[in-house]
């Protein structure tokens, strides 16, 4: 990541295009936070590229004063991979919705994560297809009633984090559209992580799926239903931080400190950097019902990145062979013969 | 020397006499000769053939080779389905691997059975008689224990050589295990061929010595076996003359033997050097295009980034990302993969990004005939996208022309900011010929159409255009040129998203006209053969060698034909329609059911276009084209002729 000393403000990353999302859409908040996060990050607009697929959230690149592409449905990860591999000096963000990223683009998503290309994938999860006006998505809950599932869906959803871990991902973070500070915090962490980083932002579709995350985002309820994980800190939640997560056999359990003999010493300390993903996965799978939904950086483990390894291999092989150009390579590696007097000897 | 079957020296000698005493001549020199090596996939037939053709090329012969291999990687040994062939044509005026072979080398009864049909009448056969064992004959589905009689082969035309016995005897003191010994059998065949064509073993040994520089023991064993093969031919047929293949003066330079896929990869590298744009390949393995990926993956030593992506779509999309990033971006595939890439290519059309798409055509539709050749993706390349989606389509004419046309595809893509589809095919991709390694100055500079500082200062918009309607390339990292591109329609003035209908129509027309104007930047159509004839034979892409040779033969026989071959399909060369209009009869020969003929007919309203078509997964034979043209010249006014392979349509 090429940062500069120059100070940026959010306006440096805003384009002149007027934003056309529905009033009240969660995307507005995420866009504003992204402008702020980019200013804080210190990477110049010309060193930044924002790549999206198709869907409501995928309009986002038009609102950025950076390099960007609004591409085709599902393919943002593949296009971002090509861009980053060609130009490791660019900081590349990918914007995808749950349909774009996990249905039509599911294959590219898991392979971008597996390959560990250094792109920052922002996954706007509203559990619905908005731009096509209200069909269920691969993250819609079982039984969700939508225009294409009038009697409820008969299939299980993906949990994005589970896909990331299944694809051996090394960075996963989560936020909620209204949690502006958390969203900025995880965006910055994602950008600073070397490798594929996935940030799931639970986002409200005010038209077709209004309130789908409200038990996690309402002021009165969110403290009981979510836990903000912070590196090196105890896993505490609740209005008074009176509750904590403890180990319970192979699983996790939410307990009240001081009740049933549980003390603060029993509460787990978060470590996003431990290579084993067993506990990360358990934390990421908490859904806000039995156990609180985890927001913040859940996993952040250093690992070799694809584009840097490609670059290093190119340099190593070039150095070893030391060919000047194509002709030199052909003459050095192919069986050749010479016709006529003036030509080069074999 | 031991002989096991009825073949005797005198019979072998008779075969030689027949080969050399060509009708009307008794010279020992031939203009060109076709040899077909056939055996199990693991018999090393391609290596033996390559060495022979390269040695001949080194002595001034022209060469053309063609492998014919099954889709199965290792079909059961000795079975009919497991036979692969490798045909080489060496000599003077060589433009194709040859219709039929003068000499067939068959390493087992299955190879003999499946390849006999590729032998010329009067051609000779060299066969390993040691493989005529009951088990081998059964695997090759013979009904009797005498394959020669069963196949109706004239015993005078077949040299039954106890290759396995000779081989074991030659290497008995080498300390090699039996499996390694058997691997040298191809060299025994090569030694026999060297003797037959009076080719000095020494130049073959020099090639081998280089090849096995790091394995002297392997070299020694192979050298011994080649000599044994040569000696066997010499000692058992010593009274017979051997003959030489003619050579001719070629342009001085350093030559190598290259196949179409490798030439394609190299042409792209040359374009990268000439444009200063680093080369990026996004690809997914698919027969018969994968060797382009293999070659470019090796060329990390020249700075190439070749990425094997998760699927065909990711192949084209990663290339689009790299193109936006300022690279010479390429994706390589075959027909089914091109279908998957369609939407991505449409994005490159809409975003007006340079992109090279290589389609090595194979038999279709669907999975079709993966290892066989066809020219059936033309319509897909021209029209296989949603919306009005024009792009440039090129086609390479021969294995070595793949280099030139890959370079051209990259040049046009970069200088005209457009995707370009280059059509090659399994025949030229796997076939090879001698190729002069280009000098630095043989190819022109490619000038990327970058946005410059003065244009940026004047308020540049991403879809501003020059006089050729080409937009400018603003490479990420450039301050002040931040911009977004995408698949949505944009306003003709501001480049912002626009859904206005009138504006859309203007943009559609601009994108079409931009491609049409490429015609100003490509060579005009040349006419070969007899330009003053009434009839013109027309082809495109990989059939060039066969059509050229057919035109040559027709004119030599007094059937006057002109000949024109298309490598630039969309747009057509500026003079193309005018040239074709000069001829009373236009005959298009192609390996499909008439796609290019239809395309030309569309551009030549009111004109009739006659057709010679073949869709058998195999290249044309020169003979088929000669006969096809003759059937039209003989007053046949269309419809299906007696051979069933020609017909014509009234416009």
**Sign of the Cα pseudo-torsion (B617, B621, B624, B630, in order):** positive
Q: What is the pLDDT of residue B28?
A: 54
Count CB atoms within 10 A of the CB of residue B440: 11
Which residues of chain A from 78 to 137 reach within 8 Å of chain B, CB to CB? 78-87, 89-90, 107-108, 111
Q: Are residues A168 and A313 in the same domain?
A: no
**Domains identified in chain B and CATH numbers:** 11-242 (3.40.920.10), 256-442 (3.40.50.970), 453-520 (no CATH), 528-649 (3.40.50.920)
The residue-averaged pLDDT of A179-201 equals: 98
Identify which of B69-78, B191-200, B572-581 has the greatest average pLDDT.
Answer: B572-581
Q: Do A166 and A36 fall within a single domain?
A: yes
Give per-residue burial for A28-48: e unless 16+ CB within 10 Å, then b: ebbbbbbbbbbbebbbbbbbb
pTM of the model: 0.91
A vs B, Cβ pairs < 8 A, gives 209
Q: Which band of pLDDT confidence, cut at 50, 70 and 90, is reported for residue B59?
A: confident
Q: How many CA atoms lie less than 13 Å away from B34 in the CB half-sphere?
A: 23
Q: Is residue A218 part of a domain?
A: no
Per-residue pLDDT of A133-148, as tens digits, reads: 999 999 999 999 999 9
Q: Residue B330 is encoded by which pair of tokens?
A: 């390429």
Q: What is the DSSP letter of A104?
A: I
Nearest to A111 among B253, B305, B310 (CB): B310
Instruction: Look up residue A257 and give its two tokens.
Output: 């400190």
In a domain, residue A271? The reply is no
More confident residue, A154 or B650: A154
Give domain status of residue A61, yes or no.
yes
| Structural domain containing residue A197 | 10-212
pLDDT at B642: 38
Whether the predicted pLDDT of B26 surpasses 60: no
One-letter-per-residue 3-state SS of B44-99: CHHHHHHHHHHHHHHCCCEEEEEEECCCCCCCCCCCHHHEEEEEEEEECCCCCCCC
Residues 6+ away with beta carbon under 8 Å from B24:
none
In tens, the pLDDT along A309-338 reads: 999 999 999 999 999 999 999 999 998 888
Chosen domain end from A160, A195, A212: A212
pLDDT at B651 over 60: no
Chain A CA closest to residue B486? A70
A145, A20: one domain: yes
Q: Identify the weakest region by mean pLDDT among B57-61, B234-238, B533-537, B612-616.
A: B234-238
* pLDDT for the residue B342: 98
Is A343's pLDDT higher than 90? no
Checking if the pLDDT of A34 tops 50, the result is yes
Same domain, A94 and A208: yes
- Listed residue (B263, B327, B291) closest to A326, CA to CA: B263
> Nearest to residue B523, comparing CAs of B647, B411, B380?
B411
Q: Write out residues 244-263 of A within 8 Å (CB-CB) of B.
A: none
- Whether residue A81 lies inside any domain: the answer is yes
* Interface residue of B325, B343, B354 to substitute, partner A, most A CBs within 10 Å: B325
Chain B within 8 Å of A312 (Cβ-Cβ)? no
| Residues of B in Cβ contact (< 8 Å) with A20 | none
Q: How far is CA A7 from the centre of its chain?
A: 25
- Helices B185-196 + B163-170 axis angle, to 10: 110
Say what angle helices B201-211 and B185-196 make with each other, to 10 degrees. 150
Under 8 Å between Cβ of B414 and B392: no
Q: What's residue A340's pLDDT?
A: 75
Check if the beta carbon of residue B462 is closer than 8 Å to that of residue B471.
Answer: yes
- Asked whether residue A143 is assigned to any structural domain, the reply reads yes
Q: Which residue in A48, A92, A337 has the most chain B C-beta atoms within 10 A of its own C-beta, making it the best mutation to test that interface?
A: A337
Cis peptide before B270 (omega within 30 of 0): no
pLDDT at B628 over 50: yes
Of B417, B408, B414, B33, whose CA–CA distance to B243 is shortest? B33
**Mean pLDDT, chain B, whole residue set:** 90
Q: Report pLDDT digits (tens) over B410-442.
A: 999 999 999 999 999 999 999 999 999 999 899
Burial of B207: CB neighbours in 10 Å, binned 0-12, 13-18, 19+: middle
Instruction: Note which residues in 26-65 of chain A have CB less than 8 A from chain B.
Output: 44-47, 49, 51, 54, 61-62, 64-65
pLDDT of residue A162 exceeding 80, the answer is yes
Separation CA B609–CA B631 (nearest Å): 15
Mean pLDDT of B323-350: 98
N- to C-terminal Cα separation, chain B: 67
From chain A, pick out residues whose CB is under 8 angstroms from the CB of B323.
82
Among A168, A192, A212, which residue terminates a domain?
A212
Q: Is residue A288 included in any domain, yes or no? A: no
Query: What is the pLDDT, as a whole number, of residue A124?
Result: 97
pLDDT in tens, B369-414: 999 999 999 999 999 999 999 999 999 999 999 999 999 999 999 9
Contact B304, B279 (CB under 8 A): yes
Q: Angle CA(B463)–CA(B467)–CA(B473) in degrees, nearest 5?
A: 40
Cβ distance of B301 and A317 shorter than 8 Å: yes
The chain B residue lying nearest A344, using CA atoms, is B254
Residues of chain B contacting residue A17, judged by C-beta atoms under 8 Å apart: 496-497
Residue A126 lies in a domain: yes
> What CATH number is given to the structural domain containing A134?
3.40.50.970
How many residues are present in chain A? 346
The pLDDT assigned to B640 comes to 37
CA distance B212 to chain A (A): 12
Which of A51, A75, A343 is facing B313, going by the closest CB pair?
Answer: A75
Alpha carbon separation from B211 to B47, B219, B222, B359 (Å, rounded) = 11, 8, 11, 32
Q: Is the pLDDT of residue B289 over 50?
A: yes
Mean pLDDT of chain A: 95
- Are A207 and A339 members of one domain? no
Least confident of A225-229, A334-338, B539-543: A334-338
Q: What is the pLDDT of residue B571?
A: 98
Looking at residue B243, what is its pLDDT? 63
Mean pLDDT value across residues A117-132: 96
The verdict on a CB contact (< 8 Å) between B344 and A327 is no
Q: Is residue A123 part of a domain?
A: yes
Mutation for testing the A interface, residue in B314, B315, B353, B461 having most A CBs under 10 Å = B314
d(CA B495, CA A68): 14
Q: What pLDDT shows up at residue B237?
A: 67
Closest partner CB to A86 (pick from B301, B322, B440): B322
Beta-carbon separation of B437 and A336 below 8 A? yes
Q: What percent of chain A has pLDDT over 70?
A: 98
A201 and B CB contact within 8 Å = no
Contact (CB<8Å) B486/A314: no
Is residue B7 scored above 60 in pLDDT?
no
∠ at Cα B480 (B476, B486), nearest 5°? Answer: 50
Give pLDDT tens digits for B196-216: 887 778 888 988 888 888 999
Mean pLDDT of B496-509: 97
Task: Give the tens place of pLDDT for each residue, A73-124.
Answer: 999 999 999 999 999 999 999 999 999 999 999 999 999 999 999 999 999 9
Whether residue A334 lies within 8 A of chain B, CB to CB, comes out as yes
Confidence of residue B251 (pLDDT cuts 50, 70, 90): confident
Query: Among the three residues A212, A229, A248, which one is the final residue of a domain in this structure?
Result: A212
Residue A345: is its pLDDT beyond 50? no
The predicted structure's pLDDT at residue B250 = 76
- Tokens 């290339």 belong to B319
Give the position of tokens 């074709």: B580
pLDDT over threshold 60, residue B21: no
Question: Which residue of A75, A80, A81 is in closest CB contact with B344?
Answer: A75
Number of domains chain A contains? 2
Contact list in B for residue A337 (CB cut-off 8 A) is: 54, 57-58, 254-256
Q: What is the per-residue pLDDT across A234-284, written as a single tens digit (0 to 9) for each?
A: 999 999 999 999 999 999 999 999 999 999 999 999 999 999 999 999 999
Q: Using the beta-carbon criterion (under 8 Å), do B256 and A326 form an inter-chain contact?
A: no
Per-residue model confidence (pLDDT) at position B397? 97
Cβ B476–A320 below 8 Å, yes or no? no
Three-class secondary structure of residue A71 per DSSP: coil
């Amino acid at each position: 990541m090429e940062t500069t000393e120059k100070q940026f403000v959010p306006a440096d990353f805003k384009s002149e295009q007027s934003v056309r999302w529905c009033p009240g859409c969660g995307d507005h908040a995420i866009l504003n936070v992204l402008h702020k996060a980019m200013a804080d990050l210190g990477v110049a607009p010309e060193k930044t590229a924002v790549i999206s697929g198709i869907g409501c959230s995928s309009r986002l690149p038009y609102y950025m004063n950076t390099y960007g592409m609004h591409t085709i449905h599902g393919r943002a990860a593949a296009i971002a991979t090509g861009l980053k591999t060609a130009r490791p000096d660019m900081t590349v963000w990918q914007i995808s919705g749950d349909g774009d990223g996990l249905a039509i683009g599911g294959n590219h998503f898991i392979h971008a994560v597996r390959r560990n290309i250094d792109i920052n994938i922002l996954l706007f999860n509203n559990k619905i297809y908005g731009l096509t006006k209200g069909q269920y998505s691969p993250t819609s809950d079982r039984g969700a009633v939508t225009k294409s599932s009038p009697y409820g869906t008969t299939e299980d959803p993906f949990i994005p984090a589970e896909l990331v871990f299944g694809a051996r991902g090394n960075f996963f973070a989560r936020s909620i559209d209204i949690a502006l500070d958390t969203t900025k915090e995880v965006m910055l962490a994602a950008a600073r992580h070397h490798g594929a980083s996935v940030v799931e932002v639970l986002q409200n579709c005010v038209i077709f799926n209004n309130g789908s995350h409200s038990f996690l985002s309402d002021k009165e309820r969110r403290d009981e239903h979510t836990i903000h994980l912070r590196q090196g800190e105890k896993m505490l939640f609740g209005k008074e931080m009176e509750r904590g997560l403890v180990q319970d056999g192979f699983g996790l359990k939410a307990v009240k400190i001081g009740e049933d003999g549980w003390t603060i010493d029993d509460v787990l300390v978060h470590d996003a950097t431990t290579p084993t993903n067993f506990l990360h996965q358990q934390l990421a799978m908490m859904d806000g019902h039995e156990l609180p939904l985890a927001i913040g950086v859940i996993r952040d483990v250093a690992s070799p990145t694809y584009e840097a390894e490609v670059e290093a291999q190119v340099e190593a092989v070039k150095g070893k062979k030391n060919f000047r150009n194509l002709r030199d390579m052909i003459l050095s590696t192919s069986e050749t013969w010479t016709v006529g007097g003036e030509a080069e000897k074999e | 020397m031991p002989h096991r079957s009825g073949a005797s020296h005198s019979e072998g000698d008779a075969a030689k006499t027949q080969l050399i005493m060509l009708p009307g001549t008794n010279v020992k020199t031939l203009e060109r000769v076709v040899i077909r090596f056939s055996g199990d996939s693991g018999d090393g037939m391609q290596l033996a053939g390559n060495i022979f053709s390269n040695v001949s090329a080194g002595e001034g012969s022209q060469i053309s080779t063609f492998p014919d291999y099954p889709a199965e990687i290792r079909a059961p040994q000795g079975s009919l389905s497991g036979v692969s062939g490798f045909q080489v044509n060496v000599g003077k005026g060589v433009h194709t691997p040859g219709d039929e072979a003068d000499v067939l080398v068959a390493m087992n009864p299955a190879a003999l059975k499946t390849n006999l049909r590729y032998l010329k009448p009067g051609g000779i056969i060299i066969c390993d008689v040691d493989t005529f064992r009951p088990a081998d004959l059964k695997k090759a589905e013979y009904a009797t224990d005498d394959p020669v009689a069963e196949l109706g082969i004239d015993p005078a035309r077949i040299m039954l050589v106890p290759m396995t016995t000779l081989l074991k005897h030659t290497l008995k003191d080498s300390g090699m295990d039996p499996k390694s010994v058997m691997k040298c059998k191809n060299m025994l065949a090569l030694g026999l061929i060297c003797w037959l064509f009076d080719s000095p073993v020494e130049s073959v040994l020099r090639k081998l010595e280089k090849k096995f520089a790091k394995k002297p023991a392997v070299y020694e064993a192979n050298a011994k076996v080649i000599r044994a093969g040569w000696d066997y031919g010499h000692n058992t047929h010593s009274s017979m003359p051997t003959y030489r293949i003619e050579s001719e003066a070629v342009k001085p330079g350093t030559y190598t033997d290259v196949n179409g896929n490798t030439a394609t990869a190299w042409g792209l590298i040359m374009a990268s050097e000439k444009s200063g744009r680093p080369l990026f390949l996004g690809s997914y393995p698919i027969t018969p295009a994968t060797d382009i990926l293999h070659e470019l993956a090796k060329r990390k030593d020249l700075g190439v980034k070749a990425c094997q992506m998760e699927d065909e779509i990711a192949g084209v999309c990663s290339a689009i990302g790299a193109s936006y990033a300022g690279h010479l971006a390429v994706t390589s595939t075959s027909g089914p993969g091109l279908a998957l890439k369609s939407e991505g290519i449409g994005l490159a059309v809409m975003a007006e990004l340079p992109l090279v798409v290589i389609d090595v055509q194979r038999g279709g539709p669907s999975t079709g005939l993966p290892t066989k050749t066809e020219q059936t993706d033309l319509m897909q390349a021209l029209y296989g996208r949603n919306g009005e989606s024009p792009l440039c389509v090129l086609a390479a004419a021969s294995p070595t022309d793949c280099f030139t046309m890959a370079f051209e595809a990259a040049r046009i893509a970069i200088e005209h900011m457009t995707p370009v589809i280059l059509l090659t095919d399994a025949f030229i991709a796997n076939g090879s010929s001698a190729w002069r390694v280009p000098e630095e100055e043989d190819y022109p500079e490619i000038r990327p159409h970058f946005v410059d500082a003065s244009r940026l200062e004047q308020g540049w918009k991403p879809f501003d255009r020059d006089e050729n309607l080409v937009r400018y390339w603003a490479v990420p990292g450039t301050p002040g040129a931040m911009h977004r591109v995408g698949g949505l329609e944009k306003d003709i003035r501001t480049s912002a998203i626009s859904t206005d209908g009138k504006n859309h129509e203007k943009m559609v027309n601009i994108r079409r006209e931009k491609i049409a104007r490429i015609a100003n930047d490509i060579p005009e159509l040349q006419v070969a053969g007899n330009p003053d004839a009434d009839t013109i034979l027309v082809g495109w892409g990989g059939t060039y060698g066969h059509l050229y040779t057919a035109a040559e033969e027709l004119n030599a026989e007094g059937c006057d034909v002109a000949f024109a071959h298309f490598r630039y399909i969309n747009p057509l060369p500026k003079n193309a329609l005018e040239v074709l209009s000069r001829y009373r009869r236009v005959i298009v020969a192609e390996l499909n059911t008439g796609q290019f003929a239809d395309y030309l007919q569309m551009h030549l309203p009111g004109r009739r276009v006659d057709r010679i078509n073949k869709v058998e997964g195999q290249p044309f034979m020169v003979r088929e084209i000669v006969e096809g043209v003759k059937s039209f010249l003989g007053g046949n006014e269309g419809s299906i002729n007696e051979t069933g392979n020609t017909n014509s349509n009234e416009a």
